[in-house]
Structure 1
């Protein structure tokens, strides 16, 4: 006899047999045909629901319950993820930031949270002459193509629906739990070793979840930052880093109109352990390009230069504060303005050896000059 794991209560809410006890059980009805069902809670057999009268087709019940469970998953979770195989391949072969990650030619799982793309989940939703078991759409973008989720119990997706171009996730279902598993594409053509198949877990051999009309090639996008040379309110030339300005496929080559010079680089470089901060590379590169940028940190006298700073001690006789000589190399930007000091210091001299050392250290650093320096732009 067929055993059912789900039924509707008198309020029409779906009930899992695992949540039913002798104390809380009530009247139940088949989600497919509406006939009353009873909760069988014996000690010898697995708990289940059973039709009181003639049972409907198990395939019809399975198809209906699968759609209800999928909608419940979508509506009651902040994530509804799918994962399918793609190949990363950036078509911009001349990009100065191109590296091995831009064209791997290796198939890897691409994970999408459908809740980020869609906010409406309809059972038996219609689109372009087709009716989907589950249709996902976005109320903020009603003109956008929806996504279909199809439950295959006895019938697979029709060739016409597949050729429609609508993204389709087809789930082969043999029991109620199938639609509760992660929606992950399996690479059945891979060696069995790579499929993590065991005697207790043989189902991965079968391709139970199929993906139609999904882009199988994605463009890997780097998050970019940039080093920028600009003039401050005092007309001093400064250098600074702007983090996370955008993805390479949209912002590469774009620049700030107020800047004198810019280079862009992969944001991930900011977390790499270089001997020197990338700011030093930007400053050194700008000097190499002929920009007269002055800062104590690139001065030949940086490690020997001192500055008088007031202390908390007061001279009892004169009632004035004592001052102390502090090496400027021990002060941070909040304590000492290295740009202002360098521009007003008659002893400022570029540390050519240090600048060359910086440039050599970053010789393999990938960057893009998004705004070349033009001498007449100095103003």
Structure 2
């Protein structure tokens, strides 16, 4: 496609401000391409979609996108700073639960975490934006350099990725970088008006560090809320019982009468936990239980495999078993 046939949505006006074709009312105003500076003609007809028509021998569409995108970010930052409006960026913050439910999950090595958006205002973190200005500390030239006068080491590179990603040299400087992957004018529209979010498909972040936050109360929104939990209890007569429910259904008062852990726990660990529960609830061993017997081999679905007997038995077989003997480690 010849450059004269390419239809652009953005151009620089006589004041060197980047404008969208929808903002143009005077077709006689002078406009230039942000990529190469060649004059653009506004086409404001009634049949075709309004656009700027590129002249011959100009730059390619990639150069236009790159220049338009970095100018768009620069203008947005400057305008937000001037008007004292925030320019937010949403970063992922990890929330670590330290509640009683987290203790339940920890018994099998699971974590109770959730990810939330942490909002930061770029105009509060930085007070100056410069287009293609060399960073004196690194001798590198980002597309836009954000700096803070009171904190000279606090800076951020804004990089526009159209055909070339941010260089390894820039990434290696350990300086925060916001990289926009721009492939269309819709991406420029996002830079102009969108909410910058780490989860956006056109944003790649380098060296942005968000501190984890620890909370003591369950928020009922973690990734493990539907995890199946085994609730074990021992009756006054020494009978064991097991019930399954979701982590979200467990209330703290339940733990006063029951012991619980994730149902995915391995058999060996589960036996140790059951034995610990029996030792706590029945320290004098008043109620014989196969889980505590030295002849215990393994268990599955509340059935015990005994080293002496050649068939599966219930865990309360110990009450009538002549071979029952508490293991030394019980």
Q: TM-score range by the shorter chain?
A: 0.5 to 0.7
Cα distance, 1:150 vs structure 2: 1.0
Pairwise CA distance, 1:100: 8.6
Q: 1:185 to 1:131 in 2, by over 3 A?
A: same
State TM-score, norm by structure 2. Answer: 0.53
Q: Give the count of matched residue pairs.
A: 194
Compute the displacement of 1:164 (Å). 1.6
CA distance in 1 between counterparts of 2:121 and 2:50 reads 34
TM-score (normalised: structure 1): 0.47
Residues 1:155 and 2:149 are matched in the alignment: no
Give the one of 73, 82, 88 matched to 1:81.
88
| Equivalent pair of 2:198/2:204 in contact (CA under 8 Å) | yes
In the TM superposition, residue 81 of structure 1 has moved relative to its aligned partner by 1.1
SS of equivalent to 1:132:
coil
Pairwise CA distance, 1:47: 0.6
Report the CA distance between 1:219 and its aligned residue.
4.1
Shift of residue 115, structure 1, vs aligned partner: 0.8
Q: Distance in 2 between matches of 1:156 and 1:34?
A: 24
- SS of residue in 2 equivalent to 1:125: coil
SS where residue 115 of structure 2 aligns? strand
- Equivalent positions of 1:138-287 (< 5 A) are 138-142=148-152, 144-178=153-187, 179-180=191-192, 181-186=194-199, 207-219=201-213
How far apart are residue 9 of structure 1 and its match? 2.1
1:121 aligned residue (115, 129, 146): 129
The alignment status of 1:110 with 2:118, answered yes or no, reads yes
Change (3 A) 1:129 1:88: farther
CA distances 1:237-276 after superposition (whole Å, capped 9, x unpaired): xxxxxxxxxxxxxxxxxxxxxxxxxxxxxxxxxxxxxxxx
8 Å CA contact retained: 1:87, 1:104: no
1:124 Cα offset (Å): 1.2
Residues 130-177 of structure 1: CA deviation (Å, up to 9, x unaligned):
2211111111222x2301111110111122222221111111001234
Show structure 2 runs of 5+ residues with no match: 103-110, 217-330
CA contact under 8 A between 2:9 and 2:185: conserved in structure 1?
yes
Q: Given that residues 93 and 117 in structure 2 are in contact (C-alpha distance below 8 angstroms), is that contact kept between their aligned partners in structure 1? A: yes
Q: Is the 8 A contact 2:11 2:34 kept in 1?
A: yes
* Aligned position for 1:44: 47
List runs of 5+ in structure 1 lacking aligned partners.
Answer: 187-203, 223-379
